[in-house]
Amino acid sequence: MAAFLDWARDFPLVMVPLFVAMDPLGILPFVVSLLEPIREERRSAVIHIALVTGLVLGLLFLLLGRYLFQLLGIRLSDFLVAGGAILFVLALRELLSDRLPEPVAADELVAVVPIGTPLLVGPATISLLILYTSLYGVWLVVLAFLANIVIAWIVFSQAQRIAGFLGKGGLRALSKVANLLLAAIAVQLISRGVLDIVHRAGG
């Protein structure tokens, strides 16, 4: 019972930051633009391939991340600072960017690149997966990641309807808010890492 309560308490702490990092609503304008040249009957297959790509890539880094730490002799506090810095730079770049999706060729390989990666599962998501595996354990992070993949599938499957309802302005605003939250998460990770390093040095 105690273990279940711990999971219930920690799950939102992993689920929400991963949702912010993956940002399916924020990348929706790009997804709509990339899917537009593809035949309508093939779009569902493209979405499925994109989600499987993101899922496999995320699980690969999630499962191998802690072994990579051990192999390279990297402490968690070191990666908290480095990963947090990367997240902050990525979030800041997106916050300051006014890029709009551009038309692309009708190539179904867009399911793998760029939709599967780096749009859905990119450096920010990979960094969080590795970090949270060390902080909360593999299975909780796997569950939170799978839940976010399901959310992304729902969002992408209803891409045209959601984009039409929110409009470009609404989607862009959601993306900016998500990246602002991602920057705040990055600062939290850096602070935690620095405190651990200081404590280790003082000990």
pLDDT per residue rounded down to tens, the chain (203 residues): 666 777 888 999 999 999 999 989 888 888 887 887 888 888 899 999 999 999 999 999 888 877 777 787 778 788 788 878 887 887 888 788 765 444 444 556 888 988 898 889 987 898 899 889 888 989 999 999 999 999 999 999 998 888 888 877 887 787 788 888 888 888 888 898 899 888 888 76
| Number of C-beta neighbours around residue 57 at 10 A | 20
- If 0-12 CB within 10 Å is exposed, 13-18 middle and 19+ buried, where does residue 101 land? middle
Q: Assess contact for 10 and 136: CB atoms under 8 A.
A: yes
Measured over the CA atoms of residue 195, residue 67, residue 116 and residue 136, the dihedral's sign is: negative
pTM: 0.81
